[in-house]
């Protein structure tokens, strides 16, 4: 995909918003310095002279403002692209093919402008902090090949062997997830110390202990929402009443863990 963007100085990048697909006539700027699969492309329909006249602070603000002049194209997300030659006339609008090429060529003559755009694009990227919760660590590094093979084997061997495999994972995230699976399916295979640690973590999850704003719905909050719902529909809702009994049981278990 990156080769396509290099070979085609101007091309069409389609973006989908719900059921609507929008064509953007763009030219490649470069790739994200930390993500080789993320390509930045300049929307040639924007006012290039306006962008060039902005200082770095104002340029960053403009890059973040919708409609964004710089399009993010992820080569590993199967983007829909089309060459300028194949684009139908209604996509080109009031500008001829040569006109779009001339706009791109004019920009190419300002390499410092391109670098400023790239810096602005990277500065506009959302920054996500690290999390102590394994569910939010999916983007904190790729899994190694050895761990990929272990993951495939983990789901095919007997539970007794899976316990042994926990220590073989190099990625801490996989160790935690594997241990969690064993705890819920075959807790008898874990040591007393490991079971106690997992039970304590489960209790903290259920009651939200140690978290100022839990990312999940705690039992207490679920009971409060359910009581509110029961207040609206009345006590003649056996399904809700049964679910409340289930939640109350979880609440009692969490208190006893």
Question: Structure tokens of 48?
Answer: 């290039």
Number of separate domains in the chain: 3
DSSP assignment letter at 212: S
Cα-trace Rg, the chain: 27
Measured at the alpha carbon of residue 196, what is the angle toward residues 194 and 200, in degrees to the nearest 5?
Answer: 120
pLDDT band at 210 (very low <50, low <70, confident <90, very high): low
* Residue range 140-168, pLDDT digits in tens: 778 889 999 999 999 999 999 999 999 99
Pair 89, 145 in one domain? no
* Residue range 79-95, pLDDT digits in tens: 999 999 999 999 999 99
What angle in degrees, to the nearest 10, is found between the helix axes of 159-166 and 172-185?
A: 150
- Cα–chain center distance at 115: 26
Pair 45, 21 in one domain? yes
Pair 161, 219 in one domain? no
Collapsing DSSP to helix, strand or coil, 68 comes out as: coil
Paired strand residues for 65: none
Pair 40, 138 in one domain? no
Pair 24, 85 in one domain? yes
Average pLDDT, the chain: 87
Question: Structure tokens of 93?
Answer: 């609008």
Question: Structure tokens of 178?
Answer: 């594997």
CATH code for the domain in which residue 68 is found: 3.30.1520.20
Pair 115, 36 in one domain? yes
Pair 118, 74 in one domain? yes
Structural domain for 174, as ranges: 132-190
């Amino acid at each position: 995909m990156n080769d396509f963007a290099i070979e085609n100085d101007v091309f069409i990048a389609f973006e989908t918003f719900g059921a609507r697909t929008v064509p953007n006539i763009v030219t490649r700027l470069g790739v994200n310095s930390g993500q080789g699969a993320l390509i930045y492309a300049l929307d040639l329909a924007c006012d290039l002279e306006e962008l060039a006249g902005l200082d770095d602070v104002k340029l960053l603000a403009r890059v973040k403002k919708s409609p964004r002049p710089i399009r993010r194209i992820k080569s590993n997300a199967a983007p829909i692209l089309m060459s300028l030659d194949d684009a139908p006339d209604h996509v080109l609008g009031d500008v001829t093919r040569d006109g779009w090429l001339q706009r791109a060529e004019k920009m190419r003559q300002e390499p410092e402008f391109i670098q400023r755009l790239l810096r602005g694009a990277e500065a506009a990227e959302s920054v996500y902090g690290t999390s102590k919760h394994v569910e939010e660590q999916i983007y904190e590094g790729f899994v190694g090949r050895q761990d990929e093979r272990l993951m495939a084997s983990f789901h095919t061997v007997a539970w007794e062997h899976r316990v042994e495999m926990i220590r073989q994972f190099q990625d801490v995230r996989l160790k935690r997830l594997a241990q969690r699976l064993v705890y819920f399916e075959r807790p008898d295979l874990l040591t007393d110390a490991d079971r106690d640690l997992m039970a304590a973590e489960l209790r903290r999850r259920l009651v939200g202990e140690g978290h100022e704003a839990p990312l999940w719905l705690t039992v207490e909050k679920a009971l409060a929402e359910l009581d509110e719902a029961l207040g609206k529909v009345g006590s003649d809702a056996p399904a809700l009443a049964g679910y409340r009994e289930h939640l109350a049981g979880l609440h009692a278990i969490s208190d006893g863990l």
